[in-house]
A = this chain, B = another copy of it.
Amino acid sequence: MRRAALFLALALTFIARPALATENVTDFVLDNGMQVVVIEDHRAPLAVHMVWYRAGSADERPGASGAAHFLEHMMFRGTETRAPGEFSERVAANGGNDNAFTSYDYTAYFQRVAADRLGLMMEMEADRMANLLLRPELVETERGVILEERNQRVENEPGSLFREQTSAAQFLNHPYGAPIIGWRHEIEALSREDLNAYYTRHYAPNNAILIVAGDVTPDEVRRLAETHYGPIPANPAVTERARPQEPPQRAPRRVTMEDARVAQPYVTRSWLAPERDPGDQRQAAALVLLSELLGGGQTSVLTTALQYDNPVAVFTSAFYGATSLDRTRFGVVVVPAQGVGLAEAEAALDAEIARFLETGVDAEALERIKFGLKASRIYQQDNVQSVAQRYGRALTSGLALEDIAAWPGILDSITGEEIMAVARDVLVPERSVTGWLRAPEADKTANTEVMQ
């Protein structure tokens, strides 16, 4: 019954908003190498202005983890002509809001404003692209802010610490093994020179993508971009990114973390997995569908098997980061039910994955998932900022506009056989990390005390 109602709702949505299914995208490149993408959406007199740098935490100098994120903070702390904090104050004074985010492969800055304020946004963003002033005393202040952010988000969250440790175990060589926010001891040691080196090396128009989405025209964006970003010279030091890649992973790894603050223990397993590559997205698309089949919602394979048929778990899920410059992780999570141990939960997970690899994909489930992905893509198109973010993530992950355009069709055309082929390729023990997070057991505590 519930499923039928959902289908009906989706069908109505499709009928109600057909015009949004097509994205009106124009792209061009400025003379200094800055890529510009314009996504027109004239439903409201608003614009989202974003600058994405093809540089994230995985582009940091080894030993300087956290530099990309630290620099992102410093981008709000003034330029040669603008005072610390002035950027966001002027955005707000003009009725807009702004923010920024750092990931493994990119750092992005955005403002959402009335469309007629676009020129001012570009003027200020171009200013901090070229003229950032890293005031030594503000670097120290900001370090305190970032360490406190790390305290709150990581040190005080056993689950976050656990993700750091399992991620480090997943990557034997690639910088994805280090946390985006940085290892604490390296944040503490980052110097103004480290931040400046990262800024000088990566912040340049030929390493940036300007995305403007909303009530704008390509001609207008081009004129404004040439005025504000055009005068900044290209940096010849910008080269194609080449990070250390993984060697063959030959041995399954297990990570067991105990933390007295853990109220709800759980098991994770992740595998090194391929990502979306330009002109080569079918494996990644199959993995997206696989993650939905295994762990996406109440009718998924793991949920049905481990929460209903043989109720050993209270929660199951699957995750996969398709949009990534280098190889990424495919993973599953099982939170055991009260009284069920992690070993039992893991054994049930193993059994269910083995069964899935033997029985294959349920055709009806696959169709339902494809339909759901289409629906959520269409819902997402209502939010111009989400659309712009999708473009930014893909473009900074090495993909081209054609890949973005092809992606929905590829997702829709993936067969059950392709999903099973990629599942057999990826879900192998050699490239897996199994993680257990739990509170110390009573007898284990005694043992640990002896060993301490």
Q: Which residues of A contact B (CB under 8 A)?
A: 62-63, 65, 161-162, 164-166, 168-169, 172-173, 175, 177-178, 183-186, 242-245, 247-259, 354, 357-358, 424, 427-429, 435, 447-448, 450-452
The residues of B that contact A185 with a CB separation of less than 8 Å are 245, 247
The residues of B that contact A259 with a CB separation of less than 8 Å are 250
| B447 with A253: CB separation less than 8 A | no
Q: Chain A's interface: helix, strand, loop or mixed, by majority?
A: mixed
The residues of B that contact A357 with a CB separation of less than 8 Å are 450-451
Question: Complex Cα distance A357/B243, Å?
Answer: 43
Given known A244-B186, A452-B424, contact A447–B251 (CB-CB < 8 A): no
| B250 with A253: CB separation less than 8 A | no
Question: Complex Cα distance A63/B168, Å?
Answer: 17
The residues of B that contact A186 with a CB separation of less than 8 Å are 244-245, 247
Question: Complex Cα distance A183/B435, Å?
Answer: 26
The residues of B that contact A247 with a CB separation of less than 8 Å are 164, 168, 183-186
Give, as a whole number of angstroms, the nearest-CB distance from A124 to chain B: 35
Partner of A254, one of B62, B164, B254: B254
Residue of B nearest to A437 (CB): B251
Question: Complex Cα distance A255/B448, Å?
Answer: 21
The residues of B that contact A250 with a CB separation of less than 8 Å are 161, 165, 257, 259
7 extra interchain contacts, Cβ-Cβ under 8 A, other than A63-B243, A173-B178?
Answer: A162-B251, A168-B172, A168-B247, A172-B177, A185-B247, A186-B244, A427-B451
The residues of B that contact A183 with a CB separation of less than 8 Å are 173, 247
Question: Complex Cα distance A247/B358, Å?
Answer: 41
Partner of A63, one of B63, B162, B242: B242
Residue of B nearest to A184 (CB): B247
Question: Complex Cα distance A65/B62, Å?
Answer: 14
Question: Complex Cα distance A165/B242, Å?
Answer: 23
| B427 with A62: CB separation less than 8 A | no
Question: Complex Cα distance A258/B63, Å?
Answer: 33
